[in-house]
Structure 1
């Protein structure tokens, strides 16, 4: 695929992400919660857009960035514990909680591809066990940092409704451990499934 076709795909992804971002800001459940949820994704998108001409990711990485941004915007609009589809799943299968946040943290393991690409591009690391191990460790560290930020938000706001929506524990005292574990498992599966495809795309980048 030539560069112009890649660019058109990237532009299409940006268009879809922008549309969903605009939708998410229209009458969200809580503007403060929306801001807390979507801010990290917005910052990452700005960095990716600003550096596009200097450093270009593979299309696979851009697809993952777009998907994770969209998941964040949806969660920010409804709050993670009230996403309608997962409320329906909760009721249909008599579950104890809305699992959209668990689903989202598992899919955050996909960011392993993006981290892997950054490490291969900007560090001396080569393909192999060390690259995989460090990639997984970084994804897990990011997941842990996010949980720390969620915890700090409850301390700063002294347990207000917005911070509770942002935290999204839904009564589960092990919520943070679940979230980090799912991101960890997601990262491992991502590398197992996508590493060869990613290597091929890097060669043709």
Structure 2
């Protein structure tokens, strides 16, 4: 029997799904560059069916769903405007008195934050790691591996498209863009561990009743 609390949780997830799909459609129709938009939102297009398919067999904590939701929004707007043109980034640049749009660093921060919680949840619920020190170490390693893989994809895209990849890369002439992208992913992962570990642990304990034997 589905109680009111569970029903409200499901309704919230459905509402979030509707918002994401709506933003995907809107951003695609209003994209600055359609190819760049597609490349930027591919992670969203891949994640949505996976999340829907695994909801019953492996539902995630509300914290993780929330982090994924925010990450998707960051990706969608980055794809719609291209990262160098997102209006929020210009506002931040003006506030910080810097000469480049830093919205891509928000994207890479979330590229560390959300995957860190994903890795944490899978490792804890699967009982794959013993001890919080080893858990944190492996989570950081996973996030940096994901970040490095993404930078390799950007490199391959640059070789394939040449100058046409400028919108996707969003380096804005910054020579240390690759290194700083990985650094912000590291900051995001560290923030997830330091700020959310206790809450995440409590939510995982509450979610244990939804786990099914595989």
Taking structure 2 as the reference length, the TM-score comes to: 0.89
1:2 to 2, 5, 13: 5
CA RMSD, Structure 1 to Structure 2 (Å): 1.5
SS of the aligned residue for 1:2 comes to helix
Q: 1:125 to 1:93 in 2, by over 3 A?
A: closer
Structure 1 residue runs of 4+, over 6 Å off? none
- d(CA) in 2 for partners of 1:179, 1:81: 14
2:171 to 169, 172, 191: 169
Contact persistence 1:10–1:59 (CA under 8 A): no
Is 1:56 the equivalent of 2:59?
Answer: yes
What is the deviation of 1:91?
4.3
Tell me which of 57, 60, 69 is aligned to 2:72.
69
- Normalised by the length of structure 1, the TM-score is 0.93
> Which residue is 2:22 aligned to?
19
Number of residues of Structure 1 aligned to a counterpart in Structure 2: 203
Contact kept in structure 2, 1:80 and 1:165, CA below 8 Å: yes
Q: Provide the rounded CA distance (Å) in 2 between the counterparts of 1:199 and 1:23.
A: 36
Residues 104-147 of structure 1: CA distance to partner in whole angstroms, max 9, x if unpaired? 21122222111100112235213511111101110111111111
Equivalent residue for 1:87? Answer: 90
Indicate which of 108, 113, 138 corresponds to 2:111: 108
Which structure 2 residues correspond to residues 154-193 of structure 1 after superposition, within 5 A? 154-157=158-161, 159-161=162-164, 163-193=165-195
- 1: CA distance, partners of 2:205 / 2:93: 43
Residues 9-65 of structure 1 show CA distances to partners (whole Å, capped at 9, x for unaligned) of 211221221221111111201111011111122101221112112110011111111
> In 1, distance between residues paired with 2:193 and 2:97?
33
- In structure 2, the CA distance between the partners of 1:93 and 1:181, relative to structure 1 (3 Å rule), is closer
Which of 14, 27, 36 does residue 33 from structure 1 map onto?
A: 36
Partner Cα distance (2:145, 2:157) in 1: 18
Segments of 5+ residues of structure 1 without an aligned counterpart are none
- Counterparts of 2:94 and 2:12, CA distance in 1: 38
Structure 1 residues 193 and 93 mapped into 2: Cα distance closer, same or farther (>3 Å)?
closer
Could you list the per-position Cα deviations for residues 75-124 of structure 1 after superposition, in whole angstroms to 9, with x for gaps in the alignment? 00000010012123334554220000012211222221111001122352
Query: Could you say which residue in structure 2 is the equivalent of 1:129?
Result: 133
2:113/2:190 contact within 8 Å kept: no
Measured in 2, the distance between the counterparts of 1:81 and 1:10 equals 31
- Alpha-carbon separation, structure 2, partners of 1:131 and 1:171: 37
- Where does structure 2 lack aligned partners over 5 or more consecutive residues? 208-214
